Amino acid sequence: MQIRAPEYTYKWGLYTLIEFTYFALKKNMNSVLTMFRPRTYKPTDKMSDLICENYVMLQVLSRFGLSLGFGDKTIQEVCEGNGVDYKTFLIVVNFLLEDSDRMQDHLKDLSIPALMSYLKQAHHYFLDFQLPAIRRKLIEAISGSPEQQVVFLIIQFYDAYVAEVRKHMEYENQKVFTYVEQLLQGQNPDAYNIGVFARHHDQINAKLTELKNIIIKYYPTNGDNQLLNATLFDIFSCEEDLASHNRVEDYLFVPAIMELEKEVK
């Protein structure tokens, strides 16, 4: 005589197995997500750890006016020793490392003058150092090509792009930052608001991406491409740097100024 286990016993065992598997997978997934989640840096963390773990933060360091040679000092110690608001520094650092476009909920700790100084230094870096350096490297990389018409068009395209970037950043330097300085002084300029800036603040990466694609797809080369490849690497790097810069403006600077406008107006 064959004895069969009750059906409900089988189902209970199956449900238990499914439930156990679900929670095990969920726990493992949470562990994986935690493992890959960017570290959030605190004032007590060493500045050297931040830079060694995230070398791209060297640009942030420079734009806040911070120099190397800080030994084992903490982030707060390095910032305060150089007259930099450490809370604003950490807000920018953690925002960029998080690599998301969500509106930040800790803007109350942000110093607008410190952030504005950071943005001005970023503009100086792009306009007076990085973009001219790429142009020199680009000319050196393609000047020997027999396709001189293509060379001329590439340089012309690059110069037009730089002119657009300069116009955009000089507008910010002269119009937007002046407006914010007036707000900080308690003045209320009626003819302007940060919404005007936001509407005109379209991404300026499109033409740089187009230039990159022109070189990759259509520029003829004859073997040794080391200098051209190095130039392309710089263009890729500049593209990412500009995108990060725009994110800081869109998701930190603009919301902070909107709150300031509410207070003043």
Return the pLDDT at 71.
Answer: 96
Closest CA to 165 of 105, 112, 208: 208
Between CA 94 and CA 103, with CA 100 as vertex, the angle to 5 degrees is 85
Nearest-angstrom CA–CA distance, 118 and 172: 13
pLDDT in tens, 78-103: 999 999 999 999 999 999 998 766 65
Cβ contact 28:36 at 8 Å: no
φ and ψ at residue 74, rounded to 5 degrees: -75, 170
- Under the banding of pLDDT at 50, 70 and 90, the label for residue 223 is low
Cβ contact 73:81 at 8 Å: yes
Return the pLDDT at 151.
Answer: 87
Closest CA to 259 of 169, 166, 172, 194: 194
By CB atoms closer than 10 A (0-12, 13-18, 19+), residue 105 is exposed
Scored b (16 or more CB within 10 A) or e, 215-250 reads beeebeeeeeeeebeebbebbeebeebbebbbbbbe
How far lies 227's CA from each of 4, 59, 81, 156, 223, in Å? Answer: 77, 23, 40, 20, 11
Task: Decide if pLDDT at 14 tops 60.
Answer: no
- What would the two tokens of residue 261 be? 């406008």
Q: Which of 15-24, 102-111, 221-230, 250-259 has the lowest mean pLDDT?
A: 15-24
The mean per-residue pLDDT over the stretch 6-19 comes to 57
Nearest-angstrom CA–CA distance, 105 and 160: 38
- Under the banding of pLDDT at 50, 70 and 90, the label for residue 148 is confident
Higher pLDDT, 260 or 192: 260
Return the pLDDT at 180.
Answer: 95
The mean per-residue pLDDT over the stretch 239-243 comes to 91
Closest CA to 27 of 17, 16, 19, 15: 19
- Please report which residue ranges of 145-225 form alpha helices under DSSP H: 148-171, 177-184, 194-200, 206-218
The mean per-residue pLDDT over the stretch 230-246 comes to 92
Return the pLDDT at 195.
Answer: 83
Full-model pTM: 0.82
Task: Decide if pLDDT at 33 tops 50.
Answer: no
What is the full DSSP assignment across 204-238?
S-HHHHHHHHHHHHH----S--HHHHHHHHHHHHH
Residue keyed to tokens 């773990």: 53
The mean per-residue pLDDT over the stretch 166-178 comes to 94
φ and ψ at residue 46, rounded to 5 degrees: -75, 140
The mean per-residue pLDDT over the stretch 241-261 comes to 92
pLDDT in tens, 48-65: 999 999 999 999 999 999
Nearest-angstrom CA–CA distance, 29 and 73: 36
Task: Decide if pLDDT at 159 tops 90.
Answer: yes
